[in-house]
Structure 1
Amino acid sequence: MSWSETALAALAVLAVALLLAWRGASRVDRLHRKVAASRIALDAQLVRRASAAVELAASGALDPASSVLVADAAYAASDAGPVTEPAAALKMDGLGPARERAESGLTATLREALEAPEAAQELLAGPSGEVVAALGAAWYRATLARRFHNEAVAQTRRVRRLWYVRLFHLAGRAPMPRTVELDDVLPHSLEPHGG
């Protein structure tokens, strides 16, 4: 093999390696954007759920003590720091421990107020049925949004663990994304095909 043939073969190998690195970096970038978008969508659904909980507390459908507890938990979840700036979503750090605790607290309070199937059915059949149904729908969408976000994070983590992504540092300086872990289990009476 002559010098020119060796150089041509090395150039071809280099071109293929650069192409593969570019494709890998593009894939990692796409996955990071997917995680950021899913986090923003999750935040929007959690805010919608908190708003629906405040509306339920203000509707007079619950007893006064439950109304106060639900409103307090909903305001705590709202005040715990929704994503308001696009740069905050790009941090890839989930929602943060304070927000996750507040959202789990809202879930526990709502479940306590609505867990009894007969009470939830009574609320759904009563004059505030629309408010309870809106809360159930918002809660279900928030649950789905969290699942989609966590799946996007898991997919990104799998790709970032590949040997060539780590070797060539294709993720750049982007932090490793984190899942959102919170209690968001709906009461059986509010599940779409449940109660």
Structure 2
Amino acid sequence: MVAWAVLALALFGFYLSWRATRLHRLHHRVDVARAGLEGALARRRSAVLALAGAGCVPRAGARALEEAVAAAGEAGERRLDLAESRLSRVLRDVVEEAGPGGAASAPPVRAEVEAAAKGVHIARTFYNDAVSDTRRARRSRIVRVFRLAGTAPLPDYFEIDDRPPRTAPPAARPDTL
């Protein structure tokens, strides 16, 4: 009878160890996804600065873009979401105000801004998925009772307005038959 109790206790200990390891991996996944998100945000800021310097947007728009990029670059952890959302809004306003002619005068720069904006959306999706999985695992009663998460802070979602600016559709190519 004692052997069964020891075996059950050992199996329960292995189970707790497995859960703690899983939580550690989930927290690591959140950290890696956050680093990817910060890299995507930095790439978008760089692309927006290139757009502002390319001369394909009005001077006032370029100045507004540069100010929004500077604010996003200097924003702390608590205000990063607000600064990046503001950058998205300013970018949309400036590109849509410039119209297809202004943005079309620098297609490589415009393509880089579009790719960077899509990258931010994808990175934010991956990060929020990792946060969701981690939070779901931490809600488990066994994790809370045995404090398997340790002192790791509960990760927060990163919600920003990352809708890219509308650009003109590519020119239609004539059909060649």
Q: Could you tell me which residue of structure 2 aligns to residue 43 of structure 1?
A: 38
For the residues of structure 1 that align with 2:157 and 2:37, how far apart are their CA atoms?
Answer: 11
Instruction: Pick from 53, 59, 69 the counterpart of residue 64 of structure 2.
Output: 69
**Conserved? CA contact 2:56–2:103, under 8 Å:** no
Instruction: Pick from 98, 101, 104 the counterpart of residue 82 of structure 2.
Output: 101
Q: Deviations over 1:152-175 (max 9, x none)?
A: 001100000011111111111111
- The count of aligned residue pairs is 169
Instruction: Pick from 106, 122, 128 the counterpart of residue 144 of structure 1.
Output: 122
User: SS of 2:35's equivalent?
Assistant: helix
What is the CA-CA distance between 1:79 and the residue it aligns to? 1.6
TM-score (norm 2): 0.90
For the residues of structure 2 that align with 1:36 and 1:14, how far apart are their CA atoms?
Answer: 33
For the residues of structure 2 that align with 1:97 and 1:186, how far apart are their CA atoms?
Answer: 23
Question: After the TM superposition, which parts of structure 1 deviate over 3 Å for at least 4 consecutive aligned residues?
Answer: none
Q: Deviations over 1:58-90 (max 9, x none)?
A: 111101110100111011111214xxxxxxxxx
When the two chains are superposed, the root-mean-square deviation of aligned CA atoms in Å is: 1.7
**Structure 1 gap segments, 5+ residues each:** 1-5, 82-95
What is the CA-CA distance between 1:55 and the residue it aligns to? 0.8
Q: Could you tell me which residue of structure 1 aligns to residue 4 of structure 2?
A: 9
For the residues of structure 1 that align with 2:72 and 2:167, how far apart are their CA atoms?
Answer: 23
For the residues of structure 1 that align with 2:113 and 2:20, how far apart are their CA atoms?
Answer: 41
Q: Could you tell me which residue of structure 2 aligns to residue 111 of structure 1?
A: 92
TM-score (norm 1): 0.82
